[in-house]
Each structure stands twice: as C-alpha cells, then as structure tokens.
Amino acid sequence: MAFIRDAWYCAGFTVGLKAGELKPLTILNEAVVLYRQSDGAAKALADRCPHRFAPLSKGKICDREVQCGYHGLRFNADGHCTHNPHGDGSIPKAATVRAYPVLERHGALWIWMGEPAQADPGKLPDFSEVEQRPGWTRVEGYLHVRANYQLMIDNLLDLSHVPFLHPFLGGGAPPPPEFRPDIRMETQGDAVVAISEFHSMPNTPLYQMLWERGAPPDIVDMRANITWHPPSMLMLDTGAKPVDQPREHGPSAPIAHWLTPETETTTHYFWAQARDRFVGNDEVSAQIAAGIDGAFRNEDEPMIEACQQNMGTADLMSLKPLLLQTDGPAVRARRVIQMKLESGRLSDR
C-alpha cells in the first residue's frame, strides 16, 4: 500500500512542541524528529543519523542544530552536518539527513512528506474555522488508532453510523422517516462534501447544552456537512438553529479531523473543534473535549479497529465490500486517492 507523499500532514499541535524538545513521530512509515530551533521555528529531520542510524531524537538541541547523542555529529535544519568532533573534524559530503518542510498554521504543525520543492503553503486547505479567534473557543485532542487512515475517512464521510454506533448521540435508532435528513454528495475539485441536513429534528443533548441564549427549542434544524480534502483532512461544519432561521441564531461547533498515516495499519488522529457559545468557559471546554474523545475512543475506534482486524492488510476495495447508497462520498474519496497514487507512480516513481 502506498501513500500520497506530496501533501501536508498534521504533525501535532503548536502547543505540543516545546522548546528544547526532540519529538519522534512516525509518519508514512518514516521516522521523523520534530523540534524547535532556539529562535522558535519548528523543523523536521529524518530521525536517523546517517552515521550509525541512531535516532536524532535521542540527542539534544544545540542552538539551531541537533546533536546526535551517540557520537556527537551536528545537523542543521537543512539536514547538513555542520560539526564532526572527531579526528581532524572533516565532514564527508554524504553527511546529510533528510529535511522535511514544516509549516505552522491553524494552531498545528504541518509536515510535507514529498518533494520539498513542491511544498507550497497554499496547498494546505483553509481551516481557519477552527482557529482560536475572537468570539470562538477551541478545544483539541489526539488519539492513536490501530487502523488504516482510509477506514477513518470512510467512518467520517458516512455519518449514517451515528444512530447505531453512538446510541447516546443518536438515540439508538435511525430517525423516523419523516425526519430523514437531506443527504447528498457534492464534489469541489478533488474535495468531497457529504451533506447531511436535518429539518425540524428533535434537538440533541449537545446542542441543548450549547444553546446559551434562552431556552433551547425542542425542534431544530441541524447540519453535519463534512468536507474531505485529500489525502486525509476533514472539516465538519455542524450546528443547530431554530427552524427556518439563519444559522447564527443557534450554536455552531465546527470540527476539523486531521488524519496522518503512521503505518499502513495505524493512524495519528488529531482533531480541533471551535464553538461560538460559552466562549472562554473552561468547564464547557472540558465537557466537550471529554465527550468527543470518549465517543471516538469508546465507540468509533473499537469498531474501526475490529474492521481492520477482519480485513488484515488487504485493501478494502479488493475485498469487494457491499456498497450502499450512503457509501457514495467514501467511495469517491477512495477513488481520488487511488487516482493520485496512480498518477504519482506515472510521474516519478
């Protein structure tokens, strides 16, 4: 199984990378070390000294450079060895380590795993909706998942699982026919949008909690529209509002899902949610963070991991899965990934 390399992948949150820290992370099967130079700039190198293959993350930061903990070679952020403490101190030409472009945006770190020359910051989709900004409060979290990232995209692009897998959120049963949502797919270039709009639905505990201004209505309009950007970033626009009124009249709680393949069968899952109600209220933030983390950790994750175990290392489509109407967006996303992988093979590998 191959990965799309020419892409930005989330490598953690801004607040998660401290000064002086050498943070090892495996991404697309490659060992990477993230760190901040003494000037605070986030950088990434292959976590493997070219001399004896010691992980650089076991060394230390010396000003703007990383010193290997085994024999003391130093490397700058371009990956060039700048110091050899042994013998006559000469530095062989081959004394380099792979350097990865890093971008810090939307409160997160982004690493470019492909050709550095292609690392255009403009290729990162806009996630400013989940930034910490005036009038909004953000919560964020991380989970390590033992499943291929595409199974997680499948999960997020087909929210019909909610009433079955999340009985608390969905009531334990699909909505009665008269409340059936308007579900459809749109495409925007390579992006896929799965639209789920519910008109005159019973309100949910989450939006009752977030209503803030006046008593929450029993019946609301709700939306859960999710946009997938290749290879593995999703933006869920979700909120509730009084029936047939503008969305600003009810709470919004957009949430970004950034999936970064660690290996073929494990995934780093970063999420960030913003809300425009109870802004700055730490208690509400803690409740929401626990709720999102719990739903994924206790309900989605065990199911997705069990599917992965049943599938082994086979690709989903090779197993000829039964396809339902609700699989449209997920199948479309898989096709985009497949096409990108094939065109990548044609062009350079």
Binding site for a copy of itself (CB under 8 A): 31, 47-48, 50-55, 58, 67-72, 84-88, 90, 92, 94-95, 154, 158, 160-161, 163-165, 174, 183, 302-303, 306-307, 310-311, 316, 319-326
* Cis status, amide bond into 125, omega within 30 of 0: no
Minimum distance, C-beta of residue 320 to a copy of itself, in the bound complex (Å): 8
Q: 133 or 184: whose CB is closer to a copy of itself? A: 184
For the CB of residue 335, give the shortest distance to a copy of itself in the complex, in Å. 17
CB of 87 to a copy of itself, least distance (A): 4
d(CA 113, CA 257): 19
Shortest gap between Cβ of 88 and a copy of itself (angstroms)? 7
| Cα gap 30→16, rounded to integer Å | 20
- 138 vs 161, beta carbon nearer a copy of itself: 161
Least spacing, CB of residue 128 vs a copy of itself, in Å: 33
CB of 175 to a copy of itself, least distance (A): 10
Of the pair 181, 344, the CB lying nearest a copy of itself is at 181
**What's at 208, amino acid-wise?**
Q
Q: Is the CB of residue 161 less than 8 Å from the CB of residue 304? A: no
Give the C-alpha distances (Å, rounded to integers) separating 116 from 34, 45, 231, 343.
16, 12, 17, 18
Cα angle, residue 158 at apex, residues 154 and 163 outer, rounded to 5°: 125
DSSP state of 16: G
**In this complex, which beta carbon is closest to a copy of itself, that of residue 81 or of residue 130?**
81
Report the nearest approach of a copy of itself to the CB of residue 311 (Å).
5
The set of residues, in sequence order, having a beta carbon less than 8 Å from that of 244 and lying 6+ positions away, is 221
**Which residue lies nearer to a copy of itself by CB, 27 or 253?**
27
List the one residue out of 45, 74, 44 whose CA is nearest residue 59.
Answer: 74
Q: What is the DSSP letter of 58?
A: G
Residue (87 or 122) nearer to a copy of itself, CB: 87
CB-wise, 276 or 301, nearer to a copy of itself? 301
Exposed e or buried b per residue across 222-235, where buried means at least 16 C-beta atoms within 10 angstroms of its C-beta: bbbbbbbbbbbbbb
